Amino acid sequence: MIRLLTSRLLYTLPVLWLVVSVVFLMIHLVPGDPIQAMLGEGAASADLQAARHAYGLDLPIGEQYLHYWNGVLHGRLGQSIRLNEDVGRVIWERYPYTLRLTIAALIVALGLSIPAGVRSAQRRDRWDDRALSVVSLFGLSFPNFALGPILILFFAIKLGLLPVSGAGTWEHLVLPAITMGGAMAAILTRMVRTAMLEELGQDYIRTARAKGLSERTVVYKHALRNAMIPVLTVVGLQFGALLAGAIVTETIFSWPGIGRLTLTAISTRDYFLVQGCILAIGLTYIVVNLFTDVLYVVVNPRIRQ
């Protein structure tokens, strides 16, 4: 177990180096002069030179790279131009909101997809299987930027059941979580159905039924556990898609997370804040994939061998 986790951690290190390096190069790949873009076309030459010196952009690129790594390791990601605050501090304040929203969306997706996928597999080619297939296809075809406003119009404005925007209570979390989790639930429903159909045809399922175990025990304790291996893979990959989708969803619902912060930083040309936000999202994605590898071992102990 420890050997497996150590090898996975070693595989993660090159990915971590690549993510940090790409984020660093962003400031140098932006067309034009980022300092000129931040200060405006009418900025004096002396002001431009002073700003480049203040942010270390007048140093050789190799020295800048080492300084950036040193800052990342010590939690110093630079100074936000627009907010005039430390980038790491700003991200640390917004990160819990995005994490809360992403986890809530994941719970919604799993809570919808697992029962629906299992039911669809059990009722293969029957009316409820076809109905669930139509619903999942509809969910895949409906983007977040369209679903969010529709949910606001119906549940918040027409029925008055939930708040339109903000992040004060758990009620503010419902509509954004459904918006983000809906599309993922559609994907996972198809995955669960396919994996369950394969497992329900295995010999150990017939043996479990021959022993007199209840159908619920056979399906949920035996078949579903083995079927979760490919599902976990998709969940790990889709977690990154949820983080990316948070940019749109957080903007629609005025949710104070990293996604909305990233969009604001882009619109105001706050390049150092953009760097920090993308780095936080990238590192979260790496951690989630490492955690997914650990779950493989928990769900299927044979992987330990």
Asked which of 58-67, 235-244, 278-287 is least confident by mean pLDDT, the reply is: 235-244
- Residue 257 DSSP code: S
Which residues, at least 6 apart from 166, have a Cβ–Cβ distance to it below 8 Å?
Answer: 172, 253, 254, 255
CA angle 243, 66, 283 (to 5 degrees): 15
Split at pLDDT 50, 70, 90, the class of 302 is low
Beta bridge partners of 86: 79
Q: What's the rounded Cα separation, in Å, for the pair 225 and 219?
A: 9
Q: What's the rounded Cα separation, in Å, for the pair 131 and 232?
A: 25
pLDDT, tens digit (0-9, with 9 covering 90-100), for 182-213: 888 888 888 888 888 888 888 888 888 888 88
Check residue 299 and give its pLDDT. Answer: 66
Instruction: Tell me the average pLDDT across 286-302.
Output: 73
Burial of 192 (0-12, 13-18, 19+ CB in 10 A): buried
Amino acid in position 139: G
Q: Percent helix, strand and coil across the chain, each rounded to 5?
A: 80, 0, 20
Q: What's the rounded Cα separation, in Å, for the pair 92 and 284?
A: 13
Where helices occur in 142-202 by DSSP H, the ranges are 144-151, 171-200
pLDDT over 80 (residue 278): yes
What is the token pair recorded at 259? 């996604």
CA distances from 254 to 133, 179, 261 (A): 33, 13, 10
CATH of domain 94-259: 1.10.3720.10
pLDDT over 80 (residue 49): yes
Check residue 4 and give its pLDDT. Answer: 67
Q: Where are the domains of the chain?
A: 94-259
pLDDT over 70 (residue 56): yes
- Residue 123 DSSP code: T
The SS3 of residue 86 is: strand
Instruction: Tell me the average pLDDT across 252-267.
Output: 85
Q: What's the rounded Cα separation, in Å, for the pair 141 and 182?
A: 11
Q: What's the rounded Cα separation, in Å, for the pair 135 and 133?
A: 5
- What letters, b where the CB count within 10 A reaches 16 and e where it falls short, cover 135-163? bbeebbeeebeebbeebbeebbeeeeebb
Amino acid in position 100: R
Instruction: Tell me the average pLDDT across 157-179.
Output: 84
Split at pLDDT 50, 70, 90, the class of 305 is low
What is the token pair recorded at 268? 């105001």
- What letters, b where the CB count within 10 A reaches 16 and e where it falls short, cover 2-27? eeeeeebeeeeeeeeeebbeebbeeb
